[in-house]
Amino acid sequence: MTTPVLEARDVTMRFGGLTAVRSVDFTVNEGEIVGLIGPNGAGKTTFFNCLTGLYVPTEGTVSYKGTVLPPKPHLVTKAGIARTFQNIRLFANMTVLENVLVGRHTRTKEGLWSALLRGPGFKKAEKASEERAMELLEFIGLAGKRDHLARNLPYGEQRKLEIARALASEPGLLLLDEPTAGMNPQETRATEELVFAIRDKGIAVLLIEHDMRFVFNLSDRVSVLVQGEKLVEGTPEVVQADERVIAAYLGEPFEGDPGEAEAAEVEAAEAAADATSTTSTKGDAQ
């Protein structure tokens, strides 16, 4: 039996007259790595934003371990879901250690007066947070650069640092948005090993990624979004062999595609136009 960590039910997101995500059901179970793929404009990042409270879904609910999540990012993080972003969002002028410590804010109880007075309780919490941050830097291989400014790190290490900051909130589910974007093959392999290590710590992982090899090597299940709707879901082997997935990535119409009828109408119109043109040509020749 598998225990769901994340459950999204009938999630729909509209922007005016545009429906970016339509009636998507989605589940991530404990200890599972799930890949979310789809062509550009499929609604993947919009769906991610609905899961993490950046967007309030027009319809549907998102639950974490059976509790419906509030539509506030910091409360979603506090509940146990952390994320990274497609575009790196580190504090460039803060140190590596300071960036990870920022991620601890939802797990510390000290308030303004405690910070101002700097009493024994605050110092104890501060020490505990620093120790945990160093454990995470050791885990991702950046302990030796704790005092370096984030902006001075190589691109691949900045990606790792963002993951460490997300892990600092002690999540049960980690959402990774394009974790290998801009990476070279060596950095991609290192990220793959890191994601497996995160899963081995009991943290479920949901990732968006355009690198199909990376997704299929990592994922227990893969879900495909096309035009805001879930097209197919299954093991990497099942998804790779699905003709609808192949057609979606090649830009060809497939059965059930919302644009299939329109494509058929265009083809019929073109055929009629060709027939008319042929008839006209024959008439001219006669």
Query: What is the pLDDT of the chain when averaged over all its residues?
Result: 85
Residues 230-278 have pLDDT tens digits of: 999 999 999 999 988 888 876 655 444 444 444 455 455 555 555 555 4
Residue with tokens 């805001």: 228
- So what's the pLDDT on residue 271? 58
Could you give the dihedral angle defined by the CA atoms of residues 68, 73, 79 and 84, in that order, rounded to the nearest 10 degrees? 120
- So what's the pLDDT on residue 282? 47
Residue 227 phi/psi, 5-degree rounding, is 50, 40
Domain for residue 36, yes or no?
yes
- So what's the pLDDT on residue 97? 95
Domain for residue 164, yes or no?
no
Q: How many domains in the chain?
A: 1
Give the model's confidence band at 69: pLDDT under 50 very low, under 70 low, under 90 confident, else very high: very high
Give the model's confidence band at 124: pLDDT under 50 very low, under 70 low, under 90 confident, else very high: confident
- So what's the pLDDT on residue 268? 57
Residues 6+ apart with CB under 8 A from 59: 10, 11, 12, 23
Domain for residue 58, yes or no?
yes
Domain for residue 29, yes or no?
yes
Average pLDDT over residues 163-187: 93
Domain for residue 232, yes or no?
yes
What is the extent of the structural domain holding 36?
4-80+171-255
The first and second tokens of residue 19, run together, are 């429906």
Domain for residue 108, yes or no?
no
Q: What angle do CA 170, 80, 41 make, to 5 degrees?
A: 115
Share of the chain above pLDDT 70, in %: 80
Residues 90-108 have pLDDT tens digits of: 999 999 999 999 988 776 6
Residues 1-44 have pLDDT tens digits of: 578 999 999 999 999 889 999 999 999 999 999 999 998 889 99
- So what's the pLDDT on residue 252? 56
Residue 144 pLDDT greater than 70, yes or no: yes
Q: What angle do CA 240, 199, 35 make, to 5 degrees?
A: 25
Domain for residue 182, yes or no?
yes
Query: Looking at residue 29, which CATH number applies to its domain?
Result: 3.40.50.300
* Cα gap 25→7, rounded to integer Å: 8
Domain for residue 59, yes or no?
yes
CA neighbours within 13 Å on the CB side: how many for 144? 2
